[in-house]
Amino acid sequence: MAYLINGALGAPYNPVPIEDDDDDDDYGHIARRTRRIEEEARTGRQLAALVASRNAHRASHDGYGSPSQSDDLDREFQIEAVLEADIAEVIDLTGDDDFPPIPARAPTVPRDRVREVRSHELPNGIRLQPGTTVELKQPLPRFGVEFLRLTSIIKSGWDQDVTLRGLGFARTRQLGGMLPSQLNEVAMVAEVSNSSGRQWVEEAMIDVKPSDILCVRELRITNALFPDHRFSRSDFEEKGKRWVEKHAPLVCRYRYHVHYNGSNEKPCEWAFVRICERESDPKYKTMDDKNINRWRGGKVLGGSHNPAGLGHPVCDLETEPSSHVRALNPSPQQRYTAGDVFSGAGGASRGIERAGLKLMFAVDHWAPAVASLRRNFPHSRIHDMDVFDFITAKDTGCKVDILHLSPPCQFWSPAHTVAGRNDEDNIAVLFSCTDLIKKHRPRLFTVEQTFGILSPKFQEFFNLFLQGFTKFGYSVRWKVLPLANYGVPQTRRRLIMIGSAPGEKLPPFPPPTHNKDGTGGLKPWATPKSVLASLPRGLVHKLHQPHNIKRYDPPKRRWNADTLARTITTNGGQNYHWTGRRDFTLLEYAVLQGFPTWHKFEGSYVKKQIGNAFAPSVVKVLYDHLVDWLLEQDGFDPASARRKNSRAGLPADLSPDAYIRLDDNDEDDNGTPSAQRNVRDLNRAAKQELNQDNDTDMMDLDGLDALSDTETLRDGEGPPEGGEHHGRWDVMEMMDVDMVRAGEEGVIDLTVDRGRGTAEDPCVLSD
């Protein structure tokens, strides 16, 4: 394979590939594609310049400060707003599935006098039957489908009109560069309605007439990695590319799924799914376990991190499939591993740890973010280095079970509104993800990115980014998710991608936990008022000093705090307290962004650290879902295995300086009568309600005793999994008290719900 070197596109991290099968006639196509990508980069620079000009004009009139050239993320969200109309023309951004359902997206055959027949003979004598693959005279306009594998032949109506029904296939070169463009490689195309309730195979069917058929072709559907089972090299060398294209076998290794919400004609989700062993033609299938073994050298069932060393070894799946080596549960301390690149201040890392994974490393090159990472994740390797240095470093290559990537989309960075020598590096940052996948070879990966990259203005750019994963045989799913559906009280939307290695099944997206009205068994959207009500009056915290925060005189317009806040960005995103009199405090911004109150921000630019983050509360939901998926794929019961990690990610440091203090007098002292009375009342109520026959060893908090970092309630067992509390745990629920486990010896810390006292976000009453 060669690489076209052309301006910003000729870097090792940013190549335009020229496949070995391409001849000189194709170079013109590649050159045209290169020019389109360069035009997209130019469009990005123009958008950045437009937004920067608007910001400068606004700053000169509003009197609240000038725009900062460092706030790239703010401009990213502003550019999203500019692009949203174009994106909404082709993509369903509503996040709703309330559109009326439709029975199918493909043409349907009238139901009067319908019958299936075993075969049908064309006028040229070719006999068709289910299982035959045919080539169409003209590709279908949607996705360039030009081949059908027949599943049924139907006669209908009084004249017994013949309809051929089957699954459609398009050459990979017709898919805009999302898959490598390799000769005679095809992908199955499946359009699916999310709300129809039908199997995807039924919905993906395409109907054509016998007169549409050109000829019969050989199609090999396989889960084997490229180039297995393709045409022979001798045919290519002796008969030429044109003959191979018209006569040699076709090979399908992917399904391309396009999802719709009900009858909405705009897609809402996409996926490239590797053909699995079960879907392959018998003659061309291989074990899925062999594919994962060849890609990453096997896998550890139940998770790669096992400090006790007593868990399951790396399985050599070439000789022994994973189904033969499963145990009932992973070992007690075993966990899946993760890495976080472009980590910022640790939003994704925090959610990953809370989901029970072992965070092996985090990577960032911005000093304030690195300081926050080191403070919050002392047991993980924090790499303060440029992503390219990280990729090439010899001591940074550990394999992980899941890898998270939040690459900045810098081709529209305001610092690069004019083309220059740095453009190559700026564009290459996004494409470094390809080398990160190759370096760490994760079983699963996730990407968080601006949805602006899905604009038709940047189609070539995104498609080439996607090919960076599919070129290695990864399955990839992507969708624009409204984060309010996962508990974030903002209008924030992000492009989220999930990928799985060759041989691994591709997970779906986690189901929403919230919706606007709280219907269908979901919670209502969290709002700024409901979330910030958890911060008690009189709270003293270095990031929460409402009396010292910026004031607005005259006040800004009041707004309804029972609705979603605007998207929080690196300068707050035009958010302010709903009274209109002040800005939010930094702690309020952090809570609105989904951070637990005990996450620590170091150094300067705290608001930027917060706005840059992938909301930890959303990451926890996502990674809980992915861990359960891996456990199930590894043969374990997720509910049973997850019970052992119910305390995952909670802080081990219970020192007073690490947490919020409750203080009625706004002084740095928790010995106020009010605070003592709260603890005493809770203790007395607990003593009255708890059954003395249980195993609880409750210390006396009456009188002069206080709850310190070491003096905690102790109990041998916690509440059952799944949110079901019985017995004494019901007492705790009635008292608005949650018992949160911390440490390794069954220590439980008393936390108060009004102070963010949940298992996800405890507020410790410290002395």
**Rounded Cα–Cα distance for residues 730 and 720 (Å):** 11
Q: What are phi and psi of 534, to 5 degrees?
A: -75, -15
Other CB atoms within a 10 A radius of the CB of residue 511 amount to: 10
Give SS3 for 186: strand
Nearest to 518 by CA among 536, 535, 532, 530: 530
∠ Cα 74 527 668 (to 5°): 85
Is 180:470 a contact under the CB 8 Å cutoff? yes
Whether the link from the prior residue into 507 is cis, omega within 30° of 0, is no
**Rounded Cα–Cα distance for residues 196 and 204 (Å):** 12
**Rounded Cα–Cα distance for residues 352 and 400 (Å):** 13
Q: What are phi and psi of 656, to 5 degrees?
A: -55, -35
- Cα radius of gyration rounded to whole Å, the chain: 29
**Rounded Cα–Cα distance for residues 707 and 712 (Å):** 6
**Rounded Cα–Cα distance for residues 602 and 546 (Å):** 20
In what helix (H) or strand (E) does residue 240 lie, and over which residues does it extend?
none
Q: Note the helical H segments in 475-569.
A: 528-532
Strands 133-136 and 213-217: antiparallel
Which residue in 315, 409, 433, 763 is the catalytic one? 409
DSSP 413: -
> How far lies 434's CA from each of 13, 255, 272, 404, in Å?
8, 21, 16, 13
Q: Note the helical H segments in 261-363.
A: 288-296, 347-354
**Rounded Cα–Cα distance for residues 337 and 345 (Å):** 19
What's the burial of 567, exposed, middle or buried (CB within 10 Å: 0-12/13-18/19+)?
buried
**Rounded Cα–Cα distance for residues 492 and 479 (Å):** 14
Q: Note the helical H segments in 310-386.
A: 347-354, 367-376
∠ Cα 156 158 162 (to 5°): 35
**Rounded Cα–Cα distance for residues 76 and 82 (Å):** 10
**Rounded Cα–Cα distance for residues 261 and 291 (Å):** 33
∠ Cα 233 235 241 (to 5°): 95
- Return the structure tokens found at 37: 């990508």
409 has catalytic annotation? yes
- Return the structure tokens found at 226: 């490229």
Residues 6+ apart with CB under 8 A from 85: none
Give SS3 for 701: coil
- The number of helices, as runs of H, and strands, as runs of E, in the chain is 18, 30
Nearest to 433 by CA among 417, 453, 413, 416: 453
DSSP 697: B
Strands 337-341 and 402-405: parallel
DSSP 411: G
Nearest to 464 by CA among 496, 433, 438, 442: 433
∠ Cα 31 34 37 (to 5°): 155
Catalytic residues: 409
